[in-house]
Amino acid sequence: MRIDKYLKVSRLIKRRTVAKDVCVGEKIGINGRVVKPSAEVKIGDRITLEMGSHILEVQVLAIPNSVRANEAHTLYELIRDERKTES
């Protein structure tokens, strides 16, 4: 599945167009590599999102085509969730 679609299905980002824009802005990485919106996601991949001062890192557990909103958190395991502090 494409990274922009996975981010939307997993509810890590609410809209696919926003996910695409974030990828184009070089703020999404898979396994330490900056990716484009069309990059493929596989089970076991680590996704890093940088949105402003917020950094989120998750590991992919499942890749369904759709999922209910209340089950979206089961698609990934949270590895890191931090906010950069201004110095």
To the question of pTM greater than 0.85 for the whole model, the response is: yes
Domain count across the chain: 1
Domain with 13 in it: 3-83
CA distances from 74 to 46, 63, 70 (A): 15, 10, 9
The per-residue pLDDT for range 3-18, each reduced to its tens digit, is 999 999 999 998 988 8
Judge whether 73 and 15 are in contact, CB under 8 Å: no
Q: What are phi and psi of 28, to 5 degrees?
A: -120, 135
Mean pLDDT score across all residues of the chain: 91
pLDDT at 50 over 80: yes
Place of tokens 């089970």: 43
CATH number at residue 36: 3.10.290.10
- Closest CA relative to residue 41, chosen from 8, 81, 82: 8
